[in-house]
Each structure stands twice: as C-alpha cells, then as structure tokens.
Amino acid sequence: MQPWLGEEEVAAVAEVIRSGWVAQGPKVAAFESAFASSQQAAYAVAVSNCTTALHLALVVAGIGPGDDVVVPSFSFVATANAPVYVGARTVFADVDATTGNLTPDTIAAAVTERTRAVIAADQGGVPLDLAALRAFCDPRGIVVIEDAACGAGSTAYGRPVGAGAEIAAWSFHPRKLLTTGEGGMLTTSRPEWADRARRLREHAMSVSAADRHASVLAPPESYDEVGFNYRMTDLQAAVGIVQLGRLPELVTRRRQLAKGYAAAIDELPGLRMVADPEWGTTNFQSCWVEVAPEHPLDREGLLVHLADAGISARRGIMAAHQHPAHAGRAGVPLPVTEHLTASTLILPVFHELTDGEQDRVIEALRSSATGERR
Ligand SMILES: *Cc1c(COP(=O)(O)O)cnc(C)c1O
C-alpha cells in the first residue's frame, strides 16, 4: 500500500501554515461539510482517527458498563478495543464466508439481552448489508455503529456506504483510500449525537476553542462532563479536502486493478478473490485472496513464493479473539473467522501501482498455481 499524495496536498498544508491557524479551525469545518455531502451524511464530526471515532460513537449512543457490544473478531483490533474503552463487554460474532462481514445470522448467534450495540465493519472496503443488519437490530433497540474505516468510495444500495447508518466511523490512516496522515470522522443522522461528539472531542468545553481564540473578549466556557482531546488539526483537514477530491479517481483505478487481478485469479484453481456483493460495490481497499486446499501452496507458502519474486503481500485480516488482548472473549464459535484469517492474503494494490508491476504479481500467482518455484 502507498498513499496517493501530490503537490496539491503540499500547497494546501503550506497555506494553512502561512495562515497561522494550525489546530482545529476553519479547514476542519470545511472538511466536515465536504465529507458529509460526499458521503450523504447529515452530520460529520472530524476526529483524530477512527479509533477515537468508534469510542465517541459508543459514548454518544449511551453504551457503558453492563452493556454487551457485538463486533466481528475478523477486523483490525480497534473494532474490538472500542467497547472496552467505555467499560462495556466485547462479544465476538462470526462473519460471512464470502464478504468477511457480519450478517443478521452471525449477529443473532451472539446477541443476548445485554446487547445494546453492534459495531459492523465494511471489511477491507466490502460494503455491509446494513439494511439487513438494521432490520434485525432496530426492533431490538440495538444501535448499529458502522465501522466504515475502510469504506470511503464503496457503495451499498446505490449510495455511499455509511449513508444509511445512524452513526458511522471513518479512518484516514494511510492504509485506507483517503489519508490525512492520521485522522478520522464520525458521521451521524442524529443532530444531538453530532453536537455531543463535537463537544466531547474537545474536552467537552461549551465554547469551541476556535470560537474562543477568534474572539477578542472570549465568552466564558464551562465543562459539563469529562471529555477528550480527539481533535483533528487544520493541517490534516487541508490534506483531507484535497484527498476527498481524488476519491472518484482513486476508486476507478482500484477497481481497474482489482478487475485485472480477478480475471487472472479466476483462471487459477484454488484461489478466490473478494468481489462485489449483490447490494453494492467495493472500493477494493484490500484485494484479499483466499487460498483453498486445491492450491499447490498454502497461504504461508504463497506469501513466501511471492516474496521470492520480490512481491510483498500480507497475511489477511486478523482475528482479534486470537490475540492476548482479547483472549477468552469469544462467546460463540468463530469457524469462518478462523478459516479466513488463516487462509487469506492481501495482494499489493495502490493508486500508482503500474500495469507492469501488476503483471509481475499476476505472473507470480500463475507460477504458484503450477507449483513452480521461481
Ligand atoms: C483501520 C481500521 C480502524 C482503525 O482506524 P484508525 O484511524 O487507525 O484508528 C478501525 N477499524 C477498521 C475496520 C480498520 O480497518
């Protein structure tokens, strides 16, 4: 993975530095409006990263001690950590074998009368069937928090992912399509959640720092609850505004590269590449490939085969319940999660990957299928 950054980002940061206003201010506000309109969200609140967005989402949804939060183990560890921050209990659910995402069936197996929220990820960019999850959760009073960390540029039912969510968390880490170095966003359809998140991200002060610093005689502020410092800076937001403009091109190129990989992999026995589900399109943030038993090499063998050809692939998405931080938490069996985390790998894919470089990867995959060593 490599981020796609250019002179426009350099100029945007330079402008912020010259303006003298570098912390959260006008650029953050502009980035929030641009992001809300591009994702068809009612409200957007910029934060320091997606992990803090998930934390705030749980706080504003009123989740705390005594509550269970169902999450996929098959996700980056931040998804499983967030409930712990609010004193709730993380309960793992299994995922669908094709998409790698939670479904109403996998959630149903993990839900108890203590379940108050579900954090459901658009894993690797593959859109969730959020409508199906909400049809299960809404009548039970369970809040669905969409972990759209990987989701910018993916669609579900003809709209951007997150558009149908009561609350969603986004990441701008360089591993994702859009980047601000580090950065995150919370989007929500609820004005009271947006207001509270906006205050909580800056120490829960009643008057924003931007308003205080912009006034000669600052209005008095009060602190009505314990907040956090989860702010994004104007330096980051300026980069984010430029990056957002690049999103359509980023997605087009990703999908072109994914099509190239998929066409080659379709011909190779024992390999399956992630694909669009029926209800949407993925941004192919991750082109993950499942290595089936018919393949001459197992997943580790294929990683070594690629590495021997100078190609750096990665093990697939982690299973949080297999790590010491979350050991002992799995409530229900997670056979699909355990299978996918052991049998998948992620191919190199980024905006500036050339067709020639991709051909080298494809060639190495072909030679692995015939059992040849290079
Ligand atoms: C990357 C990622 C996160 C964490 O995002 P940060 O911005 O690094 O905090 C959370 N959830 C998922 C599914 C991710 O892929």
What CATH number does residue 218 fall under?
A: 3.40.640.10
Q: Pick from 245, 266, 293: which residue ends a domain?
A: 245
Q: Do 284 and 206 share a structural domain? A: no
Of the candidates 119, 230, 228, the one whose C-alpha atom is nearest the C-alpha of residue 183 is 230
189 and 304 fall within a common domain: no
Residue 286 Cβ inside 6 Å of ligand 1? The answer reads no
**CA–CA distance, 64 with 280 (Å, rounded to integer):** 33
> Taking 60 as the threshold, does the pLDDT of residue 373 lie above it?
no
* Model pLDDT for residues 69-93, shown as the tens digit of each residue: 999 999 999 999 999 999 999 999 9
pLDDT class of 341 with cuts at 50, 70, 90: very high
Domain containing 52 equals: 7-245
Q: What is the pLDDT of residues 121-168, one digit of tens each?
A: 999 999 999 999 999 999 999 999 999 999 999 999 999 999 999 999
Considering only CA atoms, which of 143, 154, 141 is closest in space to residue 120?
143
Alpha carbon separation from 180 to 18, 46, 319 (Å, rounded) = 19, 11, 27
Which of 228, 237, 175 is CA-nearest to residue 203?
228
Please give the C-alpha separations between residue 353 and each of 3, 76, 196, 257, 369, in angstroms, as whole numbers. 11, 24, 41, 8, 23
- Give yes or no: residues 61 and 18 share one domain: yes
pLDDT for the residue numbered 221: 87
Closest CA to 46 of 169, 207, 152, 192: 169
- Taking the C-alpha atoms of residue 213 and residue 219, their distance in angstroms, rounded to an integer, is 10
Report percent pLDDT > 90 for the chain.
Answer: 93
Question: What is the pairing mode between strands 271-273 and 287-291?
Answer: antiparallel
Model confidence over 209-256: pLDDT tens digits? 888 888 888 888 899 999 999 999 999 999 999 999 999 999 999 999
Quick check: CB of 52 below 6 Å from ligand 1?
A: no
In a domain, 241, yes or no: yes
Torsion of CA 84, 86, 91, 93, to 10 degrees: -100
* Within-domain flag for 237: yes
pLDDT exceeds cutoff 80 at 63: yes
Residues 234, 154 share a domain: yes
The answer to whether the beta carbons of residues 24 and 209 sit under 8 Å apart is yes
Q: Are residues 265 and 127 in the same domain?
A: no
373: CA distance to ligand 1 center in Å?
Answer: 36
**Does this model's pTM top 0.95?**
yes
Given this model, what pLDDT does residue 374 score? 43
Distance 105 CA to ligand 1 centre (A): 24
Q: Is 55 in the pocket of ligand 1 (CB under 6 A)?
A: no
- β-pairing, 159-160 vs 155-156, is antiparallel
In a domain, 374, yes or no: no
Of 197, 215, 245, the position where a domain reaches its end is 245
Confidence of residue 372 (pLDDT cuts 50, 70, 90): low
Q: Which of 47, 48, 147, 243 to mutate to test the pocket of ligand 1 (most atoms within 8 A of CB)?
A: 147
Interior angle at CA 201, CA 199 and CA 203, nearest 5: 70
CATH number for position 343 = 3.90.1150.10
Asked if residue 197 and residue 92 are part of one domain, the reply reads yes
Orientation of helix 355-369 relative to helix 234-266, angle to 10°: 40
- Alpha-carbon distance 256 to 331, whole Å? 40
Instruction: Specify if 112 maps to a domain.
Output: yes
The reply to whether 20 and 91 lie within a common domain is: yes
Measured from the CA of 124, which atom of ligand 1 is nearest?
15
The predicted structure's pLDDT at residue 134: 98
Atom nearest to 49 CA in ligand 1: 7
Task: Tell whether 291 is covered by a domain.
Answer: yes
For 143, phi then psi, to 5°, come to -80, 130
Confirm if 183 and 159 have CB atoms less than 8 A apart: no
- Among 176, 231, 254, 305, which one carries the catalytic annotation? 176
150 lines ligand 1 (CB under 6 A): yes
* Residues 274 and 347 sit within 8 Å (Cβ to Cβ): no
Q: In terms of domains, do 165 and 269 share one?
A: no
Helix (H, G, I), strand (E, B) or coil at 238: helix
Radius of gyration of the chain (CA): 21
| Residue 369 scores a pLDDT above 90 | no
pLDDT of residue 133: 98
**Does the pLDDT of residue 101 top 60, yes or no?**
yes
For ligand 1, the distance from its centroid to the CA atom of residue 171, given in whole angstroms, is 6
Once rounded to an integer, what is the mean pLDDT over residues 200-207? 95
Q: How high is the mean pLDDT of the chain?
A: 96
Q: Which domain-ending residue is among 245, 264, 298?
A: 245
Same-domain pairing of 20 and 32: yes
List, for residues 4-60, the tens digit of each pLDDT value. 999 999 999 999 999 999 999 999 999 999 999 999 999 999 999 999 999 999 999
**Residue 2 placed within a domain:** no
Asked whether residue 219 falls in the same domain as residue 321, the answer is no
Q: Is residue 255 part of a domain?
A: yes
Read off φ and ψ for residue 273, nearest 5 degrees: -105, 145
Question: Is 41 contained in some domain?
Answer: yes
Work out how many domains the chain is built from and give that number: 2
Query: Catalytic site residue 259?
Result: no
195 with 52, same domain: the answer is yes
Say if residue 158 is in the same domain as residue 274: no
Closest CA to 153 of 38, 67, 233, 43: 38
The whole-angstrom separation of Cα 48 and Cα 181 is: 10
CA 317 to ligand 1 center in whole angstroms: 12
